[in-house]
Structure 1
């Protein structure tokens, strides 16, 4: 689905491990960045420490052959490697499940076999009709972009349209409700043909988080509406107000003591 250009120019640009969003050439915030910077996550703080420790143990021999500075650099980057691998795994599981349901022959890596089987079960048992997959979108008033995982309808639930986040991580957290609410407030998304499509055309009725595990799947309904929206806006405001450069600008230049040359 695509439509003529109706809005300011919006783009998602991929670079390295990440991506950025632009409105008329100006970089804007991403949903996950705002949530990451604006809300303290005690569980994530503990996870970061555990990931670095696990990485050090698992790569002990390899790290021991490096100079100390390179070891430190590898350890600093390890949590991002693990995070990016988790994101890649989620997308790969979804893509493989889609191909299998289309009757295509695919080679599924052994480490993903259980997750792919669970994803296929979900899509089959829910009789999923995909509307948009990994679609970038933008909110113009609040100037943020993002990419949601899945917008779908289900023959098991006539008349309902689901905005979904697809997770293969350890658990589903309440913050996902803020993430989905932010996505649901997009003015438009980039459709399959690259055109700008108003998100309101799809009539979203439900937000869900789909937890894909190696042996099963669980679908969690997530709260939505104005209360959740206000919490996202508050989190976004906190993220923007407390950025390092802005905070550091609150400090003035060093003062001199009377009688001492400046």
Structure 2
């Protein structure tokens, strides 16, 4: 029976829902986000400060008309930047999938049936660099944008690609791969890749399920408007165990913490006294 997969957002977390079993499990990225990010408050504050300094005259005029609006405008600087980068990343991922599936190879089909380059100007550098990656590495696509589902550990996630590439000895190897369009690559991509590769099975867009194939390794393609690099990523049981620790942390953060402190069995102090004024005010 096909198991169509959909995603939902609940409480700021993404969940994958299996239509066949009605099971709901957290997404891989949501689990990895359990990692602490102590740099984020300072980065967000710096974004707001830079916007304020660069827009002093504009903000002064805005504050005279709408003080709360000016505050929200400055406070939202980091969010707007992150959202704009996410939009570019989503469009780039869509383009990369079309290209690696061979849709016009490096171009898109036009209405006359020929092929012509038709991408948003902001995406053209990404297109050119991805095309260079395809020419240089010559990857063979095995799967793309399917869902890796773990029945054992209760999580799921959509990976970018499963590729066959040649190693240094000319031997084909199967590599779980992620496209990254951020400014840099970060170690937590190894957690993400291990979660996909150690899942129990793959579920395609039509809901067809099959066991996870044997995977030899993991890699990340870091691609920006200026350059691209194809980097191996550590892929082993130790890294996966760290991901599972975060999976358990997600359960704590989502549900378990609510259960650990009970109602008072005894209490005291002045706050325990309810005055007549307080009673009448209720």
TM-score normalised to structure 2 length = 0.73
Structure-2 residue corresponding to 1:250: 260
Aligned pair partner of 2:62 in 52, 61, 64: 64
- Aligned residue for 2:221, secondary structure, equals strand
* Contact 1:136/1:146 (8 A) holds in 2: yes
Take 2:179 and 2:54, find their aligned partners in 1: how far apart are those partners? 28
Aligned counterpart for 2:16 among listed residues 16, 21, 29: 21
Query: Unaligned regions of 5+ residues in structure 2, if any?
Result: 109-115, 275-282
* Matching residue within 140, 155, 175 for 1:162: 175
> CA contact under 8 A between 2:62 and 2:69: conserved in structure 1?
no
The separation in 1 between residues aligned to 2:198 and 2:5, in whole angstroms, is 17
User: Which piece of structure 1 moves more, 203-212 or 13-22?
Assistant: 13-22
Instruction: Give the match for residue 156 of structure 2.
Output: 145
Structure-1 separation of matches of 2:208 and 2:223: 31
Structure-1 residue corresponding to 2:200 = 187
Partner secondary structure for residue 172 of structure 2:
coil
* Farther-moved stretch of structure 1 (42-51 vs 121-130): 42-51
Superposition map of 1:66-215 within 5 A = 67-70=66-69, 79-97=78-96, 98=99, 99=103, 101-104=105-108, 105-154=116-165, 158-200=171-213, 203-215=214-226
Choose between structure 1 and 2 for higher RCO, CA contacts under 8 A separated by at least 6 residues.
1
Question: Counterpart of 1:33?
Answer: 30
Deviation at 1:127? Answer: 1.2
What SS class does the counterpart of residue 32 from structure 1 fall into? helix
Q: CA deviation at 1:138?
A: 1.1
Q: Secondary structure at the match of 1:209?
A: strand
Residues 97-147 of structure 1, C-alpha deviations (whole Å, 9 max, x = no match): 514525432332232222221111112211122222222221011111111
CA distance in 2, matches of 1:77, 1:215: 28
Contact 2:145 2:160 in 1 (8 A): yes
Contact 1:94 1:116 in 2 (8 A): no
With over 3 angstroms needed to count, the CA separation of the structure-2 counterparts of 1:56 and 1:219, relative to structure 1, is farther
**Alpha carbon RMSD of aligned pairs, Å?**
3.4
Inter-CA distance 192–252: structure 2 relative to 1 (3 Å threshold) = closer
- What secondary structure is seen at the aligned counterpart in 2 of 1:215? coil
> CA shift at 1:26, angstroms?
3.6
How far apart are residue 226 of structure 1 and its match? 1.0
Whether the aligned pair in 2 keeps the contact of 1:132 and 1:192 (CA below 8 Å) is no
Moved more, 109-118 or 138-147: 109-118
Q: CA distance change for structure 1 residues 151 and 75 in 2, over 3 Å: closer, same or farther?
A: farther
SS in 1 for 2:194: helix
Alpha-carbon displacement from aligned partner over 1:160-194 (angstroms, at most 9, x marks no partner)? 11111110101111111011000112222222543
SS at match of 1:93: helix
1:232 counterpart = 2:243: yes
Q: Number of aligned residue pairs: give it.
A: 252
Structure number with larger C-alpha Rg: 2
Q: 1:42 aligns with which of 38, 51, 56?
A: 38
